[in-house]
Structure 1
Amino acid sequence: MEKTDIPRLELESFARVNYKVPFLKVEHYPLDANYFSIENREKYPVIDYISPNRRQFFKIFHMTAGTGILTVGLHQYVLAAGDIAFLHPDEIMSWQTTSDETGGHFCLIHPKYFERDADHILQALRNYPYFKASKAVVQLSAGQSSLVNQHFESIVKEEKSNNEDKKQAILLHLQMILLEAQRAGKTLTDAPVPESYGYIHGFLKLLESSFHVQGPDDTVKLKTAAEFAEQLHVHPNYLNSLVKEHTGKTLREHIQERLIYEAKVLLIQTDWDISNISYGLGFSGHAAFTSFFKKKENISPSIFRKSAFSQINS
């Protein structure tokens, strides 16, 4: 039996029925993540969260049971069994579970996974029509959903194996998943997000855009809460209240949290001197950065870096 088109949510009913308080936990991607990972949604149930960045990871997830609300950029979808979603690294996304039941798989893929022997598949991902916010969810038939689930299960099996050619096998199954979704070609109808969510999205997008530290000579030009509010054409008190109500944290807390996250990224993923990192993050000097970092993490940046490197090499 074919599913009906995905329902649109009226803004008033969404706010009344679906907007929990606090609504979403802001989650940044783990700093020690593998270039490729796949998990079963039953073993790793997804909590309600909003992700302002993926640090280059493409994400694909397929549902075999349960329901939830997915927001990609400013497009919102109600998902159920048989739906598959494609999330581009550049998009802010959020997820809210609306059922106790859950099933299916999700995988995260970094472009570096395709280096040396699979650049053509990376190009296929970049050109794939459904890695766009307005076409992010595809509705599969029962037969197509079953085939996609089999491919995901095969990927899980290969990933856990010691086969020398397991990467090739994984990539073949991944291509078949993309093919099945493209054959289905039935993208779900999206609904516009509530105005309040739009402000939260706008703030997180502006905050994320502040962090483009590509080299030791780059500097984060971080704005104040009032400056973010001005860019969104809203009163600072209203924006702060809105963000606090639906994420559990103030604008200031989000700004500082994102600053600490970027600091950890630079400490782990670069060999820059801590003075260069301090400058890049907009601090007046090494001492000011160290004081801020220790206050938030109860550890100095240098000790954090040594600890992270020892865990990576252990």
Structure 2
Amino acid sequence: MENIGIPRIELEKFAAEEYKVSLLNVEHYPVSSGQFIIENRDDYPVKDYISPHRRKFYKIFHMTSGTGILTIGLHRYEMGPDEIAFVHPDEIMSWQTTSEETGGHFCLIHPDYFGHDSEHVLQLLRQYPYFHADKAVIQLQDSQSSVIDGCFAAMLKEERGNDDDKKQAILLQLQLLLLESKRAGKNRIEMPVSESYGYIYQFLSLLESSFQVQQRDSLVKLKTAAEFADQLHVHPNYLNALIKNHTGKTLREHIQDRLLHEAKSLLVQTDWNINEISDGLGFSGQAAFTTFFRKKVNVSPSLFRKNTSMSNQAIHQSIN
């Protein structure tokens, strides 16, 4: 079915178009990352990137200094000091820094972090009004921004500590952060995204939707670069050049990267055997999957699974 909202663009128009989006690295969160991650921007400088959806993490970040452009879905915000943003797991987001420095904190929260004993806090996130792309950025007063900065600092200290009740302390600070932001309730005005960014968003959205391997009988139907371009009703050369210019990688490289990321996720997060993963990802057989994986990672799928499992066990033992 043709999408009349996205016009077919000829190469002549492409050749004359001026790009307005800087180079954005497409980043997926590590498949074996923790369920709660918090960082201070002083120790973890922000960089320009675009993150596809299906991250599974709720993301909250607070700015105390600097400026940048946050895009969530097709909603664009020019952020500055004393502002906080909320990103839902299902949204594609990007960040472009527009100042030399950016201060503040950010945290990533996986739904599994809460567990049965903290289900009520998870429900707060699910029902929170600002985890929507058109309401995602809140302007804070100085006093509110100070309180929220203190909440982040307290969560960071607890997360780095060894107290038995540190999770309870983190969740209390998180609830206070949500309350202060809700009291502020002053949404920043969103700006329209550029046409070129719109195509990047549409491509990544289609790419993500192509990888829905959730059950053993699921099957990915791999698409070619030309098929993605056809779905967007643009010339393949136009789409490929647009994506390469803004992300540094071709359509084919993005497709292979996403296939590799899904393979790693299934190896680490499921107990499926290698043949089941191979079938689910659309390979002709286990040998073809192993050849692809070894070429990309320099180890076999089974050894990658074993090494990652041992690494995760070591981290868990050091924490406990």
Q: Which amino acid aligns with 1:97?
A: T
Structure 1 CA distance for aligned equivalents of residues 258 and 240 of structure 2: 16
Which 5+ residue runs of structure 2 have no aligned equivalent? 1-16, 315-320
1:301, distance to aligned residue in structure 2 (A): 1.1
Are residues 1:19 and 2:21 paired?
Answer: yes
Q: Say whether 1:307 aligns with 2:298.
A: no
SS of equivalent residue, structure 1 residue 118: helix
CA shift at 1:218, angstroms?
A: 0.7
Give 1:28's aligned amino acid.
Answer: H
Q: How does 1:1-314 map to 2 (within 5 A)?
A: 19-20=21-22, 23-314=23-314
Between the aligned partners of 2:61 and 2:20, the Cα distance in structure 1 is 22
Answer yes or no: is the 8 Å Cα contact 2:47–2:97 preserved in 1: yes
Alpha carbons of structure 1 residues 54 and 146: separation in structure 2 relative to 1, 3 Å = farther
Q: Which 4+ stretches in 1 moved above 6 angstroms?
A: none
Q: Structure 1 residues 268-277 or 46-55, which shifts more?
A: 46-55
Hey, what's the Cα distance between the residues in 2 that align with 1:120 and 1:274? 38
SS at match of 1:149: helix
Alignment RMSD: 1.3
Q: d(CA) in 1 for partners of 2:189 and 2:18?
A: 21
- Deviation of 1:19 after TM superposition, in Å, equals 2.5
CA distance in 2, matches of 1:225, 1:39: 37
Are the aligned partners of 2:70 and 2:93 in contact in 1 as well (CA < 8 Å)? yes
Equivalent-residue separation in structure 2 for 1:61 and 1:221 (angstroms) = 36
Aligned AA for 1:59? K
- CA separation in 2, counterparts of 1:235 and 1:32? 37
1-side partners of 2:138 and 2:42: how far apart? 21
Could you tell me how far apart the structure 1 residues matched to 2:34 and 2:300 are? 26
TM-score between both structures, scaled by the size of structure 1:
0.92
Deviation at 1:313, TM superposition (A): 2.1
SS of residue matched to 2:117:
coil
Cα distance in 1 for partners of 2:217, 2:150 equals: 48
Structure 1: distance between partners of 2:179 and 2:185: 10
In structure 1, distance between residues paired with 2:281 and 2:101: 43
In the aligned structure 1, how far is the partner of 2:62 from the partner of 2:169? 19
Deviates more, 1:83-92 or 1:266-275: 266-275
CA contact under 8 A between 1:29 and 1:53: conserved in structure 2?
Answer: no
Between the aligned partners of 2:60 and 2:116, the Cα distance in structure 1 is 22
Alpha-carbon distance in structure 2 between the residues aligned to 1:263 and 1:188: 39
Distance in 1, matches of 2:171 and 2:248, equals 40
Once the two structures are superposed, residues 44-88 of structure 1 have per-residue CA deviations (whole angstroms, 9 ceiling, x without a partner) of 011100001353100000000111110000000011010100000
Question: Equivalents in 1 of 2:305, 2:163: separation in Å?
Answer: 34
SS in 2 for 1:38: strand
Give aligned pairs, total.
298
Q: CA deviation at 1:16?
A: 6.8
Measured after TM superposition, the shift of residue 147 of structure 1 is 0.8
- The answer (yes or no) to whether the contact 1:29–1:54 under 8 Å persists in 2 is no
Q: 1:196: Cα distance to partner?
A: 0.5
DSSP 3-state at the match of 2:213? coil
CA contact 1:275–1:286 (8 Å) conserved in 2: yes
Q: What is the Cα deviation at residue 32 of structure 1?
A: 1.8
Identity %: 65
Q: Provide Cα deviations, 1:96-125, integer angstroms capped at 9, x if missing partner.
A: 111112211000000011112111111110
Matched residue of 1:215: which SS?
Answer: coil
Letter aligned with residue 117 of structure 2: D
Counterpart amino acid of 1:292? F
Instruction: Quote how far apart the aligned CAs of 1:311 are.
Output: 1.4
| Equivalent residue letter for 2:58 | F
Match of 2:11 in 1: none
Helix, strand or coil at the partner of 1:192: coil
Give the unaligned 5+ runs of structure 1: 1-14
Deviation at 1:162, TM superposition (A): 2.1
1:19 maps to a residue whose letter is V
Greater Cα shift, 84-93 or 284-293: 284-293
Secondary structure in 1 matching 2:56? coil
User: Aligned equivalents of 1:56 and 1:199: distance in 2?
Assistant: 23
Kindly state the Cα deviation for residue 141 of structure 1 after the two structures are TM-superposed. Answer: 0.7
Give the Cα–Cα distance (whole angstroms) in 2 for the partners of residues 37 and 16 of structure 1.
Answer: 38
